[in-house]
Amino acid sequence: MQSRAAIERQFRRFRFGLFVVWAILLAIIVAWSVRSARERALSEVMQKAGETLSVQTEILSGVLDKYRLLPPLLSRQSSIRALFVRDAEGNAQALDARRIAESTASMSAAMDVAFFFPDGELLANARGSLVDRAEGLPELIEVALQGRLGRAAVANRQGERTYAFSSGVHREGKFVGVVIVYVDFYRVEAAWALSARRIFVTDKTGTVFLANDAAWRLKNIADLRETAESDRYLIDGRFERRLDLVRGLPLLEWDLHVLADPAPVAAARLSAASIATLVGLLAGMIALVVLRRNEEAIIKARTDRATALRLERVVRDRTRALSITNQSLSQEVEVRREAEERLRKTQNELVQTAKLAALGQMSTALSHEYNQPLAAIRSYSDNALRFLDKGALSEVSGNLARINGLVERMAELSRTLLSFSRKPGASVGPVPLGTIIDEALLLARPRARAAGITDIRVGDGVSGLFVLGGRIRLGQVFVNLVNNAIDALSGQADATVEIDARRQGDRVVVTVIDNGPGVDPAQLPKVFEPFFTTKGVGEGIGIGLSIVDNIIRDFGGTIMVDNRPEGGACFTINLRAAEADVAGRNDRTAPAAEAAI
C-alpha cells in the first residue's frame, strides 16, 4: 500500500495535469460562447433589419401601386380624349384640361397630373409650370406611343424627386396625347425618418434617390462609403461600420437598403466572454476544493479497499444469477413494449383510415360546395371586366367584394378539410366544444344536403362550453356520429339531426339525436364493437363507432347509445369539463400539438 507522501506526490502531478486541461477547456468554452453569442446577436440584428426592410418595401410598393393604373384609367375617358382636339384656330382646351388635372390631383393626392401633346407640348397640368419636372418626358411619351405604361424616376435641379407614370391617349385609333401622373415621396421619407436605422433607395447607377437622411439624397453610394468595398458608411460626419441589407425592386430598377448597427453584436460577444470566464474560474475553484477533500478521503479509502474487494467478490458471485434473471426479464419487457407500440401505431393508422374514408364518402357533396362558388366567381369576374371597360368602378368594387366573400367561404372549407385530414397527436387539453362541432358540421353538411337532409340543429347549450380532449380527434367523433345519423335518415322526408350539450358539475354531457328508425334493441350492446355494421356489403366496414368509443375513452369520457321513445337514436357523450380561462391560455399551443403529423 502506498504511503501518504507517495499519494500526495501523485495528487500534485494530477492537479497540474488537471489545471492544464481546465485552461484548455476554459479557452474552448470562452471561444465557443463568444461565437454563439455573436451568431445569436447577429441573427437578431439581421432579423429586425429584415423586418424593417420588408415593411418599407411594402410601403414603397403600396405608394406607387396606388397611382400606377391612374394614367390608363384617365386616358380611356372620353372627356380626356376630347381635351386634345384643337379648334379652328389651332387652340386646345387648356382651361378644361387644367380643371380636370386639378380635380384629379386633388382627389388622388398625386403631386401633379399633366396632359401633353405627342410633340411634348404641354396642354395643362394641375400644379402650374412643370419647369424641371419635364425631364424624362421624351422617354415617357415614347413608351406611351408604344402602347405600354410608361414609368420614370425624375429628379430636378432643386432636389425635388418624383416618380412619373404615363399612358397614351388615342382618339379614333390615332395617338393624340399623353397623360402623366407625378408622385412625390414626402410621406414615405417622413415615415422612414422615424426609424433609427438608415433607410435609402439606390437606382441602377448607384445614386441614392430616396433616404431618411437628407444629406444622402442624390449622392452616389460610393461617395458615402469609406472605400468601394468597405462596410463603413458616413454617419453623422464620420465613418461607422454598418450591416447592409438589400432588397431589389426589379420593376422599378431600384435597390432598397437598410443599414443595421452591429454594436449589439460586439456587446453580446463581450458579455459572453465575461460570463464564460467567471463561470470557468468558479468551476475551477470548486474543483480544486473538491479535489483537496478527495485527496484526504482517498487515503482513508485505500485502507478499506482490500476489505471492500473481498466483499465485492462475494456480492459479484451472488448477483451473477440475479443479473441473468434480470436480463431475461428486460428482454421480455422490451418485447412487450414493442408489441404495445405496434398496436398503438396500428390503432392510429386505423383512425386515420376511417377519417379518409369519411372524406371519401363526403367528396361528391364537397365538390358541389366548391363548384357553385367557382361558377359564381367566374360570372362576377366577367362582369367586373365589363364594368372596368365601361369605367363603372363602383360596380367593379361590388363584384370584387362578392368574389372575396366566396373565396373566404371556400378557404374556410379548405382549412377545415386540411385540419380534419391530418394525423392527430396524443395530447389532451382544453378545447372549445362549439367550435369543434361547427367545424364537424362544415364537413358533414354537404353530404347531408346531398342526402336531402337540411334540418341539422345545434342547441344553445353548446355555446361557451370547454372540454378536455384533442381538437382533431374530437372533431372526428362528431363527424362520425353525424355521418352515422345521415346514413340512418337517408330517404326520410322529415329528417332531423340535433346536437346539444349541458354542464353537470365537472362533466359536460353532449347528445346527438336523430329521428330515424333507431337501433335494433338486440344490437345495442354490439354497436361499439369493431367491424359491427348494419350496412350492406361495400357500404362500410363497421369501425367508425368503435373508433369513436376508443377516442372518448382516451379523453377520460364515456359514450352510450339508446333509442328514444318518440323514435330515433340518441348518442350520449360524457366528457371532462374545462374552464374557459384555462382553455384561452392553451388555445395557441393545444391545436398545434394535436395536429402534429
**What is the mean pLDDT of the segment spanning 454-482?**
88
Return the C-alpha cell found at 92. Answer: 386646345
How far, in Å, are 8, 59, 204, 212 from residue 155 at the CA level?
85, 21, 15, 16
How many domains would you assign to the chain?
A: 3
The predicted model gives 36-65 an average pLDDT of: 77
pLDDT, position 128: 64
| Least confident interval from 13-27, 83-97, 201-215, 264-278 | 83-97
Model confidence at 541, pLDDT cuts 50, 70, 90, reads low
377-434 tens-digit pLDDT: 766 687 778 778 877 778 778 778 767 765 665 665 566 555 555 555 567 889 999 9
Boundary-marking domain end, from 156, 184, 212: 184
Number of residues assigned to the chain:
597
Residues 197 and 144 in one domain: no
Least confident of 95-104, 229-238, 478-487: 229-238
120 and 210 assigned to the same domain: no
On whether residue 314 sits in a domain, the answer given is: no
- Which residue pairs from 206-214 have beta carbons closer than 8 angstroms and sit at least 24 positions apart in sequence? 209/153, 209/155, 209/161, 209/254, 210/60, 210/161, 210/185
92 within domain boundaries: yes
Q: What is the mean pLDDT of residues 526-542?
A: 65
Show which of 241, 261, 281 is a domain's final residue.
261
Of 183, 184, 167, residue with least CA distance to 175 = 167
Q: How far apart are CA 459 and CA 299, in angstroms?
A: 81
Tell me the mean pLDDT in the region 36-50: 75
Same domain? 48 vs 194: yes
Final residue before a domain boundary, out of 261, 289, 304:
261
Model confidence band, residue 237 (pLDDT cutoffs 50, 70, 90): low
- For the CA atoms of 546, 548, 552, 555, the dihedral, rounded to the nearest 10 degrees, stands at 110
For β-strands 198-203 and 112-116, DSSP reports them as: unpaired
Whether the pLDDT of residue 263 is over 80: the answer is: no
Q: Show Cβ contacts of residue 9 under 8 Å, excluding neighbours closer than 6 positions.
A: none
Distance of CA 200 to the CA centre of its chain: 28
Q: Are residues 92 and 48 both part of a single domain?
A: no
Q: Is a pLDDT exceeding 90 seen at residue 548?
A: no
| CATH number of domain containing 58 | 3.30.450.20
228 lies in a domain? yes
Are β-strands 569-578 and 198-203 bridged in parallel, bridged antiparallel, or unpaired? unpaired
| Residue, of 65 and 365, whose pLDDT is higher | 65
Residues 179 and 221 in one domain: no
Mean pLDDT, residues 286-315 taken together: 76
Distances (CA, A) of 395 to 384, 387, 392, 439: 7, 6, 6, 34
Claim to verify: residue 519 and residue 532 sit in the same structural domain = yes
The long-range contacts involving 146-151, CB below 8 angstroms and separated by at least 24 positions, are: 149/68, 149/71, 149/72, 150/71, 150/178, 150/180, 151/68, 151/252
Q: Which amino acid is at 40?
A: R
Domain membership of residue 274 (yes or no) is no
One domain for residues 485 and 440 = yes
| pTM recorded for the entire structure | 0.40
The answer to whether residues 112 and 67 touch, using CB atoms and an 8 Å cutoff, is: no
Domain annotation covers residue 53:
yes
User: Does residue 345 belong to any structural domain of this protein?
Assistant: no
- Domain membership flag for residue 315: no
160 with 194, same domain: the answer is: no
Domain co-membership, 63 together with 194: yes
Other C-beta atoms within 10 Å of 372: how many? 12
Where does residue 573 fall: left (phi above 0), alpha (psi -120 to 50 degrees), or beta otherwise? beta
Q: Are 437 and 578 within one domain? A: yes
CATH of the domain at 564: 3.30.565.10
- From 169, 49, 61, 158, select the one nearest 113 (Cα to Cα): 169
Provide the domain limits for residue 490.
424-594
What is the C-alpha separation between 513 and 525, in angstroms, rounded? 18
Of all residues in the chain, what percent carry a pLDDT higher than 90? Answer: 9
pLDDT, mean of residues 536-557: 75
Residue 539 has pLDDT above 60, yes or no: no
Terminal Cα distance for the chain, rounded: 63
Same domain, 175 and 195: no
- Evaluate whether residue 317 is within a structural domain: no
Please tell me whether residue 250 adopts helix, strand or coil conformation.
coil
Q: Are 451 and 529 found together in one domain?
A: yes
